[in-house]
Structure 1
Amino acid sequence: MNVLSALRLSRAPIAAFMAVGFTWGCIAAMAPVLKARIGVDDATFGLLLLGTSIGLSTTLYVAPRWDRRMGRWALPVGTVMLAGAAMLPTVGYTVPLLFVILMILGGLSGLTDVVMNARVSEVEAREARSLMNVNHAMFSVAYAIAALLTGAMREAGWGPAMIFPAMALLILATAPFQVMSVSPTADQDGPAPRLPFGLIALGGLIVLIGFMAEATVESWSALHIERTLGGGAAEGAFGPAMLGLTMAVGRFSGQAVAARLSEVGVIRIATGCAIVGVLIAAAAPTPFVAYVGFGLLGLGISVIGPMGLALTGRLAPPALRTAAIARVAVIGFLGFFIAPALMGLGAQAFGLRWAFACVALLLAVIWPLTRFAERSPTHR
């Protein structure tokens, strides 16, 4: 009942989370098609994907201004633009054009992402309830739905000219459900409040580490199972699948746990679970044991990012909530782009087992970070 109540309270931002999930689930499932169509190698295609992060970096400056100017319409109008951008890969026939398209998608996705997280944080403050986990869980659900639908359309013989417009319609259908009242921010006398950079650094590091751990397993778990443990292609593919499944379960379960514990308490427990999981995966003698490790890791890291964003939103002044979340989100999203490369360097130098063990050391950094959050005067 707690999850159903959370879904009802945050139904507007949940619709936005699903729109973003639909977008990237489709892009991920269409990646082989996009790569083959422009005829580049793996390294070049990986560099092309940096266009997403470049577009995302604009979110840092644009999202707070967009939120203030558009108010209750910021989410639905942003989603309408995202739906339009979701059709652009249809014409991405060249390397430069696809790079620009990915920049646009990254920028509009980041714009919606920051505002929807700020809306969740606002509802959390109004209702005195933790809602971030269930919203991020619905992103995972929408991502999986879009990937499966895209795969089914490809199997049915549909090409990009049909798949991307169909997915754009699905994204567009979420926009009417995203309109919600926004609490006005009272003007303050005296100088404008300054951004809480200490809080941004704290939240950003927590979210960054959580997202880095997620990205490394997404990119390298299949290779670890196949190369290190001698598994077949199907066994290797089940590694990231196990991560995705347990992350969805973890976020829905985290919703119930967060109702009883503070964000700091949830982050600490989740970090411990993730560390145990990644160490099991690193030392696994068989693929089955590795699945157990990746499953525990997925349960743990699933809530670290959402709880880091929730912590930032709760501790930031209301007038600066969107700006603070924008900066924390951008810092966190960097993890998805730098972690796979760092993991590759570690694997090349020390082997995959030791590279995964280094992920455990990285996760352990979160524990001392949470000590600083406890010292906040608004910590509950």
Structure 2
Amino acid sequence: MNDTLAAATHRRSPAITRERAAVALMFLMNGFLVGAWAPKIPEFAARLSLSESTLGLMILVFGIGSIVMMPVAGMQIARFGSARVTRVTAILVLPTLIFLSLVGSLWTGAIAIFLFGGLIGAMDVAMNANAVAVEKQMRRSIMSSCHAFWSLGGLFGSASGGLVMAWLGVLGHAGLVTLLAALMVLAAWPLLLADKPHPEEAGARVRLPRSALPWLIGLVALFSMIPEGAILDWGALYLRNELGASMQLSGLAFGAFSLTMAIMRFGGDLVRDRFGAVRTLRFCTLASIVGLLTAGFAVNSTMAIIGFAIAGIGISNMVPIAFSAAGNLPGMAQGIGLSVVTTMGYSGILVAPSAIGFIAEHVGLAAIFAGLPLLHLVVLCLSHLARHADRPAGVAVEK
């Protein structure tokens, strides 16, 4: 009977709704801005005469901005609802890419990148919260596909960035990206699900879990996301400075990675349901190791781009599996375990890549990418914890 009821509910919920399309468009817009930033990093560093270690500090400022603004966004979501916060942060983030293209000093560059990272992070929290609200309304999972749209946006932004900058210049590129992003916001604006505020959550007392389990799963998320942040922030610079790629070609580092990641995320739920979370995580981790080693030992830019593409296949579903496992830990409230794992995971993509600049100044970026698979060996050792991501026994499965 439970199966029949679940199936009936499933049939009553349409696969695509206005609200689902709107939040997916916001994910696309956010990923598009981040992807457009990736090929601008070498030009940004050259304009401000930044060494690799100083650029690492700038990337750290990006991460600090995100970490500062993420909890602020969470409090505002509790007060006003995710739809309103998503709209406001989307509007505020629009001009930041132009600001980054105009700055000419170290301090103005730091302010610009702090605002960019902070508003990107705040919007990330808000649109994820809105996606959760849409999931509850539809009674079906959409999170994986939403993150696939983010990867797709990253692909469009990064793959086109070098070509557009060569054609329109740095400022022209920023203006065109801002215009396209604004059109996405305008299209999604009236369709976002207007969820209700939850003011009681703003004052909720947070207690860190004493169990080691969420922290170990958080380590899986952390060591899965550090390579993603490394490719985003350092892939283009690696291709351009160490492999002699052109500006147009250097943007394909993150572009190839985003393409394979988006494809795999669209099919990730089906693969996991077919083979199980543990087996899927192990396959993805091994694929990422192969890709990172290929990129790190590349003799030319084409080989490195292929390596980043293979890494995208692997990393695509490593973090979603970790997040699902955290949300299904036995004997623990969903939000507690998930908050630990998401915080640890996002620190890997926001803060950890800043340290790469200091290390790369001494050993080079090739050694960095060749060494990142060591982190994935830890993920393989902890991969058995992914069993919590599978449906618990006894829960009705939709048919």
Same fold, TM-score > 0.5, yes or no: yes
> How far is 1:202 from its partner?
4.0
2:75 equivalent among 60, 65, 68 = 65
Gaps of 5+ in 2: 1-13, 394-399
Equivalent position amino acid for 1:11 in 2: A
Matches within 5 A, 1:105-116: 105-116=116-127
Check if 1:269 corresponds to 2:283: yes
SS in 2 for 1:93: coil
**Residues 1:116 and 1:263: Cα distance change in structure 2 (over 3 Å):** farther
- Where does residue 365 of structure 1 map in the other structure? 378
Aligned pairs, number: 368
1:314 and 1:8 map into 2 onto residues whose CA distance is: 29
2:344 and 2:264 map into 1 onto residues whose CA distance is: 22
2:152 equivalent among 141, 157, 162 = 141
> How far is 1:105 from its partner?
1.0
1:80 and 1:352 map into 2 onto residues whose CA distance is: 38
**Residues 1:21 and 1:264: Cα distance change in structure 2 (over 3 Å):** same
Residue deviations 1:1-50 (CA, integer Å, cap 9, x gap): xxx94797732332222222222233223334433443444443343232
The question of whether the paired residues in 1 share the 8 Å contact of 2:54 and 2:357 is answered with: no
Check if 1:20 corresponds to 2:30: yes
SS in 2 for 1:180: coil
1:366 and 1:95 map into 2 onto residues whose CA distance is: 37
Check if 1:301 corresponds to 2:315: yes
Higher mean displacement: 146-155 or 104-113:
146-155
The question of whether the paired residues in 2 share the 8 Å contact of 1:75 and 1:175 is answered with: no
> How far is 1:267 from its partner?
2.6
Query: RMSD across aligned C-alpha pairs, in angstroms?
Result: 4.3
- Where does residue 106 of structure 2 map in the other structure? 95
> How far is 1:182 from its partner?
2.8
Residue deviations 1:167-222 (CA, integer Å, cap 9, x gap): 3333233334152143666969xx85635575653453222211222344563698
SS in 1 for 2:104: coil
Query: Structure 1-normalised TM-score?
Result: 0.75
The question of whether the paired residues in 1 share the 8 Å contact of 2:78 and 2:197 is answered with: no
Gaps of 5+ in 1: none
2:270 equivalent among 249, 256, 262 = 256
1:212 equivalent among 213, 219, 226 = 226
**Residues 1:165 and 1:225: Cα distance change in structure 2 (over 3 Å):** closer
The question of whether the paired residues in 2 share the 8 Å contact of 1:211 and 1:305 is answered with: yes
> How far is 1:112 from its partner?
0.9
**Residues 1:181 and 1:267: Cα distance change in structure 2 (over 3 Å):** farther
Equivalent position amino acid for 1:110 in 2: G
Check if 1:164 corresponds to 2:157: no
Query: Structure 2-normalised TM-score?
Result: 0.72
**Residues 1:59 and 1:207: Cα distance change in structure 2 (over 3 Å):** farther
1:201 equivalent among 190, 206, 215 = 215
2:42 and 2:303 map into 1 onto residues whose CA distance is: 30
**Residues 1:183 and 1:373: Cα distance change in structure 2 (over 3 Å):** farther
The question of whether the paired residues in 1 share the 8 Å contact of 2:64 and 2:351 is answered with: no
2:296 and 2:52 map into 1 onto residues whose CA distance is: 26
Check if 1:330 corresponds to 2:340: no
Equivalent position amino acid for 2:284 in 1: A
2:66 and 2:264 map into 1 onto residues whose CA distance is: 26
Equivalent position amino acid for 2:131 in 1: V
The question of whether the paired residues in 2 share the 8 Å contact of 1:114 and 1:329 is answered with: no
> How far is 1:286 from its partner?
8.9
The question of whether the paired residues in 2 share the 8 Å contact of 1:208 and 1:334 is answered with: no
The question of whether the paired residues in 2 share the 8 Å contact of 1:313 and 1:321 is answered with: yes
- Where does residue 356 of structure 2 map in the other structure? 340
- Where does residue 55 of structure 1 map in the other structure? 65
